[in-house]
């Protein structure tokens, strides 16, 4: 390929919730991160301008920052496509995707908080009484789910039955190590990574490899302390989810109001600038 090619010149292999994946040669893929946004496993047609660039650049930052901990699919090479696509694109290794979302929780928030309020459990595991929303857990918890249109929480035993015990152990170990490293790094920048999601694939040489994205506002929940010393949750997709709940959204396409779009991108920019720059 020569410089100046458009994405239309490449074979699109897959269109996900946010990312489009293109064939880029014998053992490579090009991932283009769009400006699409999803919530509650629903993809909106109305896009958030600038979102894709932030997600892609943040993922590249973290892939490079964590490659000494666990190998990932990023290939640092020159992009042979039009310059306007560069900030939203990365070249990666081809892998066979493991059908698991590897979730690590370090603070109690989101669906884990809802479950705790109802049962004093997180992912079915009993935890101590008296916790408040956003409290730090005694130690990070590995809480996997299936990877599908409608994700489903599963136990480690169910995960092992699906993909094997050895692969389960390897994914759990890698996920916890990656989370603990990034947690400390972000904390030094004034950001708390409350929870996050990883995805993995298997390369041709049978090597387990970190794929997709890591520690972005789309796959992680970011917190920080307010001037009053309270923890704020305002730097990821939760703001948009909360907006939809208030609107009694009925899982249909909507036009996202301009002020909501502006607030979404502002939150993404805050966490990007605070961690990456």
13 touches 94 (CB < 8 A) = no
CA 240, CA 246: separation in Å to the nearest integer?
10
Q: Which of 141, 196, 197, 202 is nearest to 166 (CA)?
A: 202
This model's pTM is above 0.85? yes
Superfamily of domain 96-248: ATP-grasp fold, B domain (3.30.470.20)
How sure is the predictor about 226, in pLDDT bands with cuts at 50, 70 and 90? confident
**In the predicted model, what is the mean pLDDT of the chain?**
93
Q: Give tens-digit pLDDT for 121-144.
A: 999 999 999 999 999 999 999 999
Which fold would CATH assign to domain 7-93? Phosphorylase Kinase; domain 1 (3.30.200)
Strand runs labelled E in 24-135: 28-33, 37-39, 42-44, 74-75, 89-93, 96-97, 100-107, 121-122, 125-126
pLDDT-derived band at 3, boundaries 50, 70, 90:
low
What's residue 149's pLDDT? 65
Confidence band (pLDDT; 50, 70, 90) for 185? very high
What is the rounded distance in angstroms from the CA atom of residue 62 to the CA atom of residue 47?
24
Distance of alpha carbon 100 from alpha carbon 211, whole angstroms: 12
Nearest one of 25, 19, 37 to 81, comparing CA atoms: 25
In this prediction, residues 145-160 reach a mean pLDDT of: 89
Label residue 4 by pLDDT band (50, 70, 90).
low
CATH 3.30.470.20 in the chain: give the residue spans: 96-248
* Residue pLDDT, tens place only, 43-72: 999 999 999 999 999 999 999 999 999 999
CATH 3.30.200.20 occupies which residues in the chain? 7-93
What's the full length of the chain, in residues? 277
Beta-bridge partners for 145 = 101, 153
CA dist 259 → 151, 256, 262 (Å)? 30, 8, 5
3-state secondary structure of 232: strand
CA–CA–CA angle 56, 59, 62 (5° rounding):
150
Q: Which of these, 260, 215, 229, 201, lies nearest to 44 by C-alpha position?
A: 260
Token pair of 127, please? 């935890």
Q: How many CB atoms lie within 10 A of CB 38?
A: 14
* Burial classification of residue 50, based on how many CB atoms lie within 10 Å of its CB (0-12 exposed, 13-18 middle, 19 or more buried): middle
Chain-centre distance for alpha carbon 199: 9
């Amino acid at each position: 390929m020569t410089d100046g090619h458009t994405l239309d010149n490449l074979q699109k292999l897959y269109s996900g919730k946010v990312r489009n994946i293109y064939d880029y040669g014998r053992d490579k893929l090009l991932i283009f991160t769009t400006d699409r946004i999803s919530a509650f496993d629903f993809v909106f047609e109305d896009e958030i301008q600038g979102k894709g660039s932030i997600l892609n650049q943040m993922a590249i930052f973290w892939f490079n920052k964590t490659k000494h901990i666990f190998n990932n699919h990023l290939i640092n090479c020159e992009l042979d496509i039009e310059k306007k696509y560069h900030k939203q694109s990365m070249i990666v290794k081809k892998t066979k995707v493991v059908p698991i979302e590897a979730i690590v929780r370090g603070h109690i928030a989101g669906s884990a908080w809802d479950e705790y309020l109802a049962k004093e459990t997180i992912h079915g595991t009993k935890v101590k009484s008296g916790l408040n929303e956003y409290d730090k857990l005694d130690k990070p918890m590995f809480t996997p789910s299936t990877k599908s249109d409608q994700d489903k929480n599963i136990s480690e035993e169910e995960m092992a039955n699906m993909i094997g015990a050895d692969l389960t152990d390897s994914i759990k170990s890698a996920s916890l190590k990656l989370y603990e490293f990034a947690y400390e790094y972000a904390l030094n920048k004034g950001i708390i990574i409350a929870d996050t999601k990883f995805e993995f694939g298997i390369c041709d040489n049978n090597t387990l490899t970190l794929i997709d994205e890591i520690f972005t506002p789309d796959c992680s929940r970011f917190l920080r302390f307010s001037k009053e010393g309270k923890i704020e949750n305002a730097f990821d997709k939760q703001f948009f989810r909360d907006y939809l709940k208030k609107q009694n959204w009925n899982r249909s396409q909507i036009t996202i109001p301009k002020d909501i779009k502006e607030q979404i991108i502002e939150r993404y920019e805050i966490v990007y600038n605070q961690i990456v720059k």
